[in-house]
Structure 1
Amino acid sequence: MTPRDNYIIENRGDALGIISDQSSSEEKFQNLTIGPILKLQNDLFIDVFKNYIAKHKNDFYTYSTEKKMQFIENSIQKDIKFRNSLKGMVIGLFTLAEYDDYIKNSSNLNKRMMNMLIERLKNNILLFDSQQAS
């Protein structure tokens, strides 16, 4: 393992979720790699999304909670440039071995990654409301 890989593993945190012998390779990758990275990068994702709101839909703060949730989902699913930027923030914290595993099944792992990120942003929706002036 390279010094970079060691640094990444040591600093991003432990696995999230349960991993068993019955877990699929995608589920293992999700719990061992994607989940800890999303948790580590949470504050960055929140700031990035606030910036996205400011640039694209400043009236977001007037929306109902339901409409805000839909906006979060649509912005990540339909804005390809934004989605690719978010993916890069996750992929940049893969080890070399994880990247090799990722490219073997990137399509399914990207879906898992974006769904997890959407849920994470939705779960943090109160942070968008309470800090709209910042």
Structure 2
Amino acid sequence: MYQAGIVTDHILGREPAPAEYHAVPRVTFTDPEIGAVGLTEEQAEQRGIRTVSSLSLASSSTRGWIHKAGNDGFVKLVADADRGTLVGATSAGPYGGEVLSILTLAVHERTPLARLRSMIYAYPTFHRGIEDALAQLKV
């Protein structure tokens, strides 16, 4: 869909926004759903980015009491230690693809970690796993 919009703009003679591929989201609709965006630690390090990562288990989610069985999962964050921004993330668990949306925005916009940490996360939601993972990042 993203590339189709760019092609359509070209065909219609409009100037499209430049294509950006640093925050491509991907979701596997299994049970549990697994979503990822941006770079893995290995990919980032291969590009010369000094990384720091964290992992928050979904069982720590305040939403666990609603879903009971099948609540297991995690949120993993990969940050650029020098710039203080996310370069990648993975979300696995119930609604893993939906939780990925805020992470995609953060990677795409290069949102500072301090800004992400200062946000209010809806309670009780699986998104709280992001807040937990941010608290664990040593940046």
* TM-score of the alignment, normalized to the shorter chain, above 0.5: no
Q: State the TM-score, normalized to the length of structure 1.
A: 0.25
Higher fraction of strand: 2
Higher fraction of helix: 1
Q: State the TM-score, normalized to the length of structure 2.
A: 0.25
